[in-house]
Amino acid sequence: MKALILVGGYGTRLRPLTFKCPKPLVEFANKPILMHQIEALVKVGVQEIILAINYQPDTMKEQINKLQDLYKVKIICSQETEPLGTAGPIRLAKDHIIKDNPDGLFFVLNSDIICEFPLDKLLQFHKQHNHEGTIFVNEVDDPSKYGVILADETGRIKDFIEKPQEFISNKINSGLYLFNVSMIDRIPLKPTSIEREIFPIMAKEGQLYQYILPGFWKDVGQPKDYLAGTVLILESYRTHTPDVLAKGNNIVGNVLVDASAQIDPNAVIGPNVIIGPDCQVKEGVRLKNCVLLKGVVINANSWINESIIGWSSTIGKWVRIEGVSVCGEDVQVKDEVYINQSFILPHRGITSNIYNKNTVIM
């Protein structure tokens, strides 16, 4: 089998982290977002993965080679010369998808999606109903914010309703699909929306089914959702692989710590914290609901809550950072500084308090 991952462009929603590296390579739970998806695809038997991209920086080429070697899977890039929407990239990659594909099936994933990736269940259900496409759907508490999916008891999709004002369904598109290769011919080679232009026709013809996604789901393409996704994946680890989580008298709730990180025993960590490789957390530090990427140093008695601290950044003593703040790569925060709901670009030094929300430090 094959798979296509819709990587897209510059990852503007996740800046300033994506100034350092392409969005699919930003670490989530201590490994690149893309790696979570590749692991799941390889596990279900995918042997070739196509990355649909708008641009390909050199850092991405290097990581692709490493991932190919690590997972023994072929990874190729299909690069758009103009944005083609959510369906056009599938048509552009047609030759890659159909070549040497005896199963005649291919997965499509949006690159921002994190879940438990039970792709084996999707594959089994798709083969059972034997039609052209299957969408993983997830259930939400407030469907009025989304376009919802109506389906019958067999899972056959009947209609798509945009942001209903009264309850008719709580199922929404999760951005994970499995198709027969025949569906590619439905897509013109031009900017096309799979959700608005392709799926309604497939549903009308009885060729599109839904399967309810078990476990958690989150689009982690922007900081607030990235942090919410961190909570969900840590709880999933607690349920399925609890041994990967940190333990200790100074650990509160679900915490993931890379083995190379150094944490003072008098620092209190958690809940919902991820600490990356080569990080240092000094005495008296308090971390909650936050992520430290590789090489971060948090000096004594600082407080970090609901924030992401980028690679190789150093946070001084008695610093307080909160309110979904994001520090890019190599940000240096001096002692006794307060930062609230701000976005700090790479290689900046912060020497004074930032009180105003949504401040961007260029």
Model confidence band, residue 359 (pLDDT cutoffs 50, 70, 90): confident
pTM of the model: 0.91
Q: What is the pLDDT of residue 347?
A: 94
Q: By the 8 A CB rule, do 114 and 35 touch?
A: no
In DSSP notation, 217-255 reads EEE-SSHHHHHHHHHHHHHHHHHH-GGGS--STTB-SSE
- Angstrom distance (rounded) from CA 7 to CA 270: 32
Look-up: residue for tokens 């009947």? 158
Q: For residue 163, is pLDDT > 70?
A: no
Q: Which residues contact 317 (CB under 8 A, 6 or more apart)?
A: 299, 300, 301, 302, 335, 336
- Angstrom distance (rounded) from CA 45 to CA 47: 6
Report how far apart the first and last C-alpha atoms of the chain are (Å, whole number): 45
Q: For residue 343, is pLDDT > 70?
A: yes
Q: Is 163 a catalytic residue?
A: yes
Which 3 state secondary structure label does DSSP give 170?
A: coil
Query: What is the identity of the amino acid at 315?
Result: I
Residue of 163, 190, 204, 357 with catalytic role: 163
Q: Write out pLDDT tens, residues 212-267.
A: 998 899 989 899 999 999 999 999 999 999 999 999 999 999 999 999 999 999 99
Q: For residue 362, is pLDDT > 70?
A: no
Q: Taking the CA of residue 345 as centre, how many other CA atoms within 13 Å lie in the half-sphere pointing to its CB?
A: 5
Q: Write out pLDDT tens, residues 81-95.
A: 888 888 999 999 999
Q: By the 8 A CB rule, do 284 and 300 touch?
A: yes
Write out the H or E segment, with its range, that includes residue 333: strand 332-333
Mean of per-residue pLDDT scores for the chain: 91
Q: For residue 157, is pLDDT > 70?
A: yes
Q: What is the pLDDT of residue 329?
A: 93
Q: Which residues contact 321 (CB under 8 A, 6 or more apart)?
A: 302, 303, 304, 305, 307, 309, 315, 327, 333, 338, 339
For a pLDDT cut of 70, what percent of the chain falls above it? 96
Model confidence band, residue 56 (pLDDT cutoffs 50, 70, 90): low
Look-up: residue for tokens 């376009």? 147
